[in-house]
Amino acid sequence: MLPILQIGPLAIQTPGLILLLGLWTGLYLSEKYAVKKDMDPGVLYHLVFWALISALIGARLSYIFEYSQAFIANPLSIISINPTLFNWWAGAACALIFSLWYGQRQNLDFWLTLDLLTPAFATLSLFIGIAHLASGNAFGSESNLPWTIELWGKRRHPTQIYEIISSVVVLGIVFGFINSKKPLSKGILFLMYLVLTSSSKLFLEAFRGDSQMIGDFRLAQWAAWLCLAVGLWFLGKRMIPGMIKDFNNENTQDQ
C-alpha cells in the first residue's frame, strides 16, 4: 500500500497518479490501434477529451445540486479543484450521454469506435487494479487461506492482486486479437472485452470485503451479470454472421 507519494514538500495521491498514467497509456495504445486500422487517432482524442470534460462538469454540478446549501454559503467552492467534491456516478452518466451525442454528430461508426477504444479500456482496468492496491481500497473479505494478506486489521483475500491478474489476462487476450492476422468483424473486440471483464468481475466480486449489498446480494455482481448478458447477446448477433462469412470465403478460396 502506498496511498501517498512524498516528494519533498509535495504529497502526491498515488492512486490518482496511477489512474492518470493508465489513461495516458491506454489512449496511446488505442491511438496506435487506430493508425493500424487506417483511422484518424485525433478523433479518439477529441472524443475522450470532451467526454472527460463533460464528466467533470456533470459530476461537479450534480454534487452542487445535492449539497446546494454548502455551496450557497461558499460559492467559490464551485470551482474548487478538490477531487472529493464530485458525484462520479453522475459524471459517468454525463460522459456516456455526451459520447453518444458526439459520436452521432461526428458520424462515428459506433462499433468501430468501441473497438478502437478497447485497448484504452483494458489498460485502464489494469491500472484501476494497481490504484486499488496502492490505496488499499477494493479490499478482500476475511479468510484463512495461505495466500491471504494482512490488511485493515484482518487476514484477507488479496482481491487487488486478483483484479490485476485478471486484467493482465484480459489485456493479453485483447492484444492477442489485435495482433491476430485474421480480421475481426466490427464490435467483436469490444464485446469480447466486455464479456471477459464482466465475467471476471462477477466471479471476483464474491471475494470482496467492501461490496455494496442489496439484502444478501452484491450489487456489482448483478451489474456484471447484466453486462455479461448484454455482451453475449450482441456478440452472438455480430459474431455468427461473421463466422459464416469467413467460413464461406475460405470455402470459395479453396475451390
The binding site for another protein (CB under 8 A) comprises 3-4, 6, 11, 13, 63, 66-67, 69-71, 73-74, 76-78, 80, 82, 84-85, 136, 139, 141-142, 152-154, 199, 202-203, 206-207, 209-211, 213, 216-218, 221-222, 224-225, 228-229, 232-233, 236, 239-240, 243-244, 247
Q: Which is nearer to another protein, 24 or 247 (CB)?
A: 247
Q: Contact at 8 Å (CB) between 125 and 165?
A: no
Q: How far is the CB of 230 from another protein (least distance, A)?
A: 11
- Cell readout for 207 is 471475494
Q: Which is nearer to another protein, 38 or 150 (CB)?
A: 150
Q: Which is nearer to another protein, 53 or 226 (CB)?
A: 226
Of the candidates 74, 52, 53, 51, the one whose C-alpha atom is nearest the C-alpha of residue 64 is 74
Q: How far is the CB of 51 from another protein (least distance, A)?
A: 25
Q: Which is nearer to another protein, 82 or 180 (CB)?
A: 82
d(C-alpha 153, C-alpha 139), whole Å: 12
Of the candidates 5, 1, 30, 31, the one whose C-alpha atom is nearest the C-alpha of residue 17 is 5
d(C-alpha 249, C-alpha 252), whole Å: 5
Amino acid at 90: A
Q: How far is the CB of 55 from another protein (least distance, A)?
A: 19
Q: Which is nearer to another protein, 104 or 248 (CB)?
A: 248
Q: How far is the CB of 65 from another protein (least distance, A)?
A: 11
Q: Which residue has the cell 450521454?
A: 97
Q: How far is the CB of 44 from another protein (least distance, A)?
A: 31
Of the candidates 165, 170, 131, 132, the one whose C-alpha atom is nearest the C-alpha of residue 147 is 165
Q: Contact at 8 Å (CB) between 155 and 143?
A: yes
